[in-house]
Amino acid sequence: MRIILLLPILVGILTFSAASGEVLIPDEEFAGYFDSNGIYTIVGVVKNTENYAITSHVDISVNDGGKIIPVGQDLPSVGANKDMPFKIRVPQVGNKNIILEKPTVTFSKSITPPPSETHVLYDKTLIRHDDGHITGRITNDGNHTEYNVKVYAAIHGPNNKFLDAGINMEKIEKIEPGQTITFSIYPDPSIASDVNYYSCFNIGDETVVPLHATRNGEKFNFRYDSTAAFTVNGFDDTGTKLSLYGINSFKIPTYVNFEFPRTSEVEKFDVLVNDKPVKFLQSRDEEGNWHVTFDVDSTTQNAILISGFENPKGKITPGENFGGIPPYLYVIPMVAAVGIVVYFYKHKN
């Protein structure tokens, strides 16, 4: 391993592919590639040149042999004059000769600003390793606890070429004032040997990936938070079992937190991974959504079955007061604007 100089931001003459006000995506920091598992992946950097924190949304179209596949993603809040790297996986793409259309980005002033007093330490502990991944430390210089913190970075190769976007692998549940915590970021294995340096480090809150499935003829929207990638196979005929496929390309374990809209207050889930029961945490946030969280092993491809959804007849309104909660559940207060639940994740070495 070796200590390297990491550039906070690349500055130069830029040609912008999209702009809305003073929020934009540079052409040279927007790209697509097929990852180590053959999934088409779009990466880029949203630059906020406004003098206030924003929350942004990226919309992109992929032309797959004449079939237009629209994708979009909400991004975490980012501070004034800061950058937010992003990564969007598009498993629907099957043609190698695709055309990636120019992106558009829309934004609004952030209601909940990012943790501005939490910083990456640019010192000898910031190390790029021979396999292309990086380790470092963040510290909280503020006077209050920050929850669900994420470290984002743009990843570059030779000649400053933008290759990938990365996010810390560890679950940083919280960081107290004055506390220092280690983190690691891994590039996709397909481009790891080309990694030269990391830039545009930014501290943000949770980011979630939207998914949907058809249940009893209706669209069922849900989302997840993870560094692993997940695709939907669908519900069974009863509408009570959801099948998914998950891939963790990285050599270290991670976690996934699925967030489901509530059909009933008494739904109780079970999780099978490759036909075997796994330990998981079920909880409910203040908006009434269910959260199902479990660990994901390193370098694995997993068939996932989550059962226990109630048949969607007589749906309830999220946020309605239903009184008592069954004894096998407990509610964890929502501590992030995106409604992600705080939970305890034991990191595996």
pLDDT tens-digit series, residues 90-123 = 988 887 889 999 999 999 998 877 777 899 999 9
Distance from C-alpha of 52 to C-alpha of 23, rounded to nearest angstrom = 11
Region 167-186 average pLDDT: 92
Token couple for 37: 């598992």
208-349 has which fold?
Immunoglobulin-like (2.60.40)
Fold of 1-207: Immunoglobulin-like (2.60.40)
**Position 11 pLDDT exceeds 50:** no
- Only one residue has tokens 């669900």, namely 148
When pLDDT is averaged across residues 126-145 and rounded to a whole number, the result is 93
Residues in CB range of 265: below 8 A, 6 or more apart? 316, 322, 325, 326
Instruction: Quote the CA–CA distance of 255 and 143 in Å, as a whole number.
Output: 29
Q: Predicted confidence band at 235 (pLDDT cuts at 50, 70, 90)?
A: very high
d(Cα 87, Cα 340) in Å, to the nearest integer? 19
| Residue with token string 């549940």 | 173
Rounded distance, CA 133 to CA 164, Å?
Answer: 12
Residue 236 predicted with pLDDT over 50: yes
pLDDT exceeds cutoff 70 at 8: no
Q: How far apart are CA 229 and CA 247, in angstroms?
A: 5
Cβ neighbours, 10 Å, residue 153? 26
Residue 317 neighbours by CB under 8 Å, 6+ apart: none
Instruction: Please state the rounded mean pLDDT for residues 171-188.
Output: 93
- According to the model, what pLDDT value does residue 313 have? 64
193-212 pLDDT, tens digit per residue, is 999 999 978 888 767 888 99
Mean pLDDT of 216-235: 92
Q: Please report which confidence band the pLDDT of residue 19 belongs to, taking 50, 70 and 90 as the band edges.
A: very low
Q: Which residue has the tokens 């007849």?
A: 313
C-beta neighbour count of 238 within 10 angstroms:
11
Cα–Cα–Cα angle for 227, 233, 234, rounded to 5 degrees: 115
Contact 229, 89 (CB under 8 A): yes
pTM over 0.75: no
Q: What does pLDDT average to over the chain?
A: 83
Give tens-digit pLDDT for 260-309. 999 888 999 999 999 999 999 999 988 899 999 999 999 999 999 999 99
DSSP notation for 98-116: -EEPPPEEEEEE-SS---T
- CATH 2.60.40.3230 domain residues, the chain: 1-207
- Other Cβ atoms less than 10 A from the Cβ of 63: the count is 15
User: Residue type for 274, please?
Assistant: N
pLDDT confidence of residue 30: 97
Residue 34 CB partners (closer than 8 Å, separation 6+): 40, 41, 96, 190
Task: Centre a 10 Å sphere on the Cβ of residue 130 and count the other Cβ atoms it contains.
Answer: 9
Report the pLDDT value the prediction gives residue 210, as an integer from 0 to 100: 86
Residue 239 CA: distances (Å) to CA of 117, 212, 262, 314: 45, 13, 13, 14
Contacts of 325 (CB under 8 A, 6+ apart): 265, 284, 331
Kindly report which listed range (6-20, 142-156, 181-195, 200-214) carries the lowest average pLDDT score: 6-20
- When pLDDT is cut at 50, 70 and 90, the band that residue 13 belongs to is very low
